[in-house]
Amino acid sequence: MTLSNKHTFLSFLIIAIIGLNQVFGQTSELKLWYKEPAEIWNEALPLGNGRLGAMVFGDPAIERLQLNEETIWAGSPNSNAHPKALQALPKVRQLIFDGQYAEAQALATSDIRSQTNNGMPYQTFGSVFLSFPGHQDYTNYYRDLNIENATATVKYTVDDVTFTREIITAFKADVVVVKLSANKPGQITFNGFLNSPFDKTKTTTEDNQVTLAAVTSTVEGQKGRVKFQGRMTAKNKGGKLAVKNGIISVENADEVTLYISIATNFKNYKDITEDYIAKSKSILDKAITSDFESIKTNHVAYYQNFFNRVSLDLGTTDVSKETTDVRIKKFDSQFDPQLASLYFQFGRYLLISCSQPGGQPSNLQGIWNDMLFPPWESKYTMNINAEMNYWPVELTNLTEMHEPFIQLAREVAETGKETAKIMYNANGWVLHHNTDIWRITGPIDMAASGMWPTGGAWLCQDLWERYLYTGDKNYLKEIFPIMKGAAQFFLDFMIQDPNSGYLVIVPSNSPENTHAGEDGKSTITAGTTMDNQLVFDLFNNIKNATKILGEDEAFVSKLESALSKMAPMQVGKHGQLQEWLIDWDDPEDHHRHVSHLYGLFPSNQISPFKTPELFQAAKQSLLYRGDESTGWSMGWKVNLWARLLDGDHAYKLLQDQLHLVTADQRKGGGTYPNMLDAHQPFQIDGNFGCTAGIAEMLMQSHEGAIHLLPALPSVWKSGEITGLKARGGYELDLTWNNDKVSKLKITAKFDGNCRLRSKSPLKYANGKALKRAKGENSNPLFFEVEVKQPIISEKADLQKLKLPKYYEYDVPMKAGETYTFYSR
């Protein structure tokens, strides 16, 4: 090769590399970054290790770290079940059957709703404040949250000195750690102290440590009995350190590391006897034996074991050079594929950071809350929000993060037995629309939202989904009694509607929407579509589990009998999927909840391939409902449009969700500058919903096949995702170019037949032609719901639904082996 040819070859090589980087390169790290400190909480950056949470404000003169501990809740162990409901139940039911909904709702509110409390609020610990004299005038400011290693950094210059703060909520050391440094010696001077908004706090100084202790609030007669203590100390290099009167003072140090621990007396939902003072001291004393770098190394290694399982590359643009808040503001007007990738991974980061094995599940705000009485008490809202928090957990390869939510199911299955018996004289267990750390299961709030006894069914659907992803029969055997107990309740609770003849759940509602019956102001009714869908899933899942485990089939016959008496999904007069048993739907209704579309997502009862009329009706309902809504609702709609196989509409909802919500905006959902979801106010479920939705746009596995690029937006022409999980025990890496699959790698966990579905044809890597699919999928981990509806066509007309032709292939796979496919 001549020198000239070599030069030409190298030029082409450089151009090719640059081109590949533009398509696939992660030229910008996975960071949220800003040029100003946070002025308000919704601009601060979240850190968490599952148990401890911290919001970093990054003000040079007065740093604030707002802190949380996952078990700081008001009240104390209690049950809100009561016998008054049993007497009111038949009266409420008769009023509903008679069409007297307002009176029925009033009676349910007064006599069935909890007579003691409506659940306890999750509460903040308080804050650490660090005051740096002379740092009001600064330049070259930089603040970030690096979600690749779960650290936050603040940098700025005062005079000619550059100061750096690194903050982590250490996973292994279980403390908040702050490293303060400068590029010149002797520059670190500050005062630090703990502060809390509780009425009565006790501050002490001991062994070079400052402490702050308090007890949580008494609410609705439930005495606050969660005691907690925060404890802080510092280690300095150079300079002077003094601890006095609750303040840590440092003068002219070269470097300082702060260590902060928090502990409570909470052991579990019925035991609050932990020695919290000894625990907080023990955690801190152990942590201070390690320096910052050692703690950080262990912290990052632990975190990346989860985070690095999945990568997403949608390409790059120059827009990624702008600050995160600016990129959010411009997302609907400029193409920024890296922001979509960052948003996807930010959801995974949050889930790792707020839902660790052995701890509490993510509540309405994860673990991040700066109030004593936050909106909706930051509880577990079971009519979608709590479940939505865990939509991405199996799909995006974070199965360990599922454990706290599964533990919640175990616990409410116990407390719900008492509620079912006392309130309804029913066997099994019940969960209404809300619970808290004390695992209350009775109805709370007004009957408008609280009179919804179907939370247990949705929770059991989540339990079943984990089995479909993992195939763990020991786990299935453990959760089977929980699922059976939920079903036992519904078998006892459901009665025949004298008007329709169907077996119905009554009283209930379609969360949290009003219907057109009587005065048009009531929610309470009988036999809602969502209730029927949830019970349909629960009963069918138990049928499938019974076959796997060889359980008593006599119970299955009871389920089948009940299913045969329940109402099917119905198409109403506007061509919509009916939300209620009666055709009450209003095309002008833009309510944030789209509960009747549960059958489309997260369930699999509605499909273009098996139930095309219902598929079209669900689409009509979603069109009527509209796009823009609260943040979490738009997150749900991303998933719904993905299931409708409309990638561009799903992407449009993602643009609506990634709409910047500023301090002066009072209505409408979207995203805050710190990338947290705006309901408004902040709710974390929108983040998790969108993470799941982006994955659903790229791969779906809910009806017996792995559907590749089912809802790919036209703007994502090329990209790559690795590490996604599919039902049936599969892990896959997927690359696409020009809207078509270019390479697919699948690793199977079990022996079985894997069905692939794609718009573009595939071939096996060794040249062996794939066999087109015939008949039903034979993988025993895939269970397709047999939907028996009178309005279902025998064969889906995809052209009529404006859907493309799909190729389907059956591929026998062996456990532990990896299979590679390419496009033709």
Q: How do residues 426-479 score in pLDDT, each as one tens digit?
A: 999 999 999 999 999 999 988 778 999 999 999 999 999 999 999 999 999 999
Query: Is the per-residue pLDDT at 774 higher than 60?
Result: yes
Query: Is the per-residue pLDDT at 781 higher than 80?
Result: no
Residue 752, classed as helix, strand or coil, is strand
- The mean per-residue pLDDT over the stretch 729-746 comes to 95
The pLDDT value given to residue 609: 87
Which domains does the chain possess?
Answer: 31-74+123-307 (2.70.98.50), 92-115+357-569 (1.50.10.10), 719-823 (2.60.40)
Rounded Cα–Cα distance for residues 125 and 447 (Å): 32
Query: Is the per-residue pLDDT at 557 higher than 90?
Result: yes
The pLDDT value given to residue 777: 54
- The mean per-residue pLDDT over the stretch 112-136 comes to 97
The confidence band for 4, taking pLDDT boundaries of 50, 70 and 90, is very low
Rounded Cα–Cα distance for residues 56 and 457 (Å): 38
Amino acid at 687: N
755 DSSP β-pair partners: 810
Q: Between 385 and 11, where is the model more confident?
A: 385
Burial class (CB in 10 A: 0-12, 13-18, 19+), 795: exposed
Query: What would the pLDDT profile of 209-245 be if each residue is shown by its tens digit?
Result: 999 999 999 999 999 999 999 999 999 999 999 999 9
- The mean per-residue pLDDT over the stretch 598-614 comes to 94
> Pairing mode, if any, of strands 52-56 and 670-671?
unpaired
Kindly report which listed range (160-164, 597-601, 764-768) carries the lowest average pLDDT score.
764-768
CB 701 within 8 A of CB 707: yes
Residue 108, classed as helix, strand or coil, is helix
Q: Which of 141, 133, 247, 249 is nearest to 194 (CA)?
A: 247
Rg of the chain taking only CA atoms, in angstroms: 28
Q: How many CB atoms lie within 10 A of CB 176?
A: 27
Query: Is the per-residue pLDDT at 802 higher than 50?
Result: yes
Kindly report which listed range (386-400, 566-580, 668-682, 804-818) carries the lowest average pLDDT score.
804-818
Rounded Cα–Cα distance for residues 576 and 573 (Å): 7
The pLDDT value given to residue 298: 98
Question: Which structure tokens are listed for 390?
Answer: 């865990």
225: Cα separation from own chain's centroid: 29
Rounded Cα–Cα distance for residues 212 and 214 (Å): 7
- The mean per-residue pLDDT over the stretch 389-396 comes to 98
Which pTM was predicted? 0.94
Average pLDDT value for the chain: 92
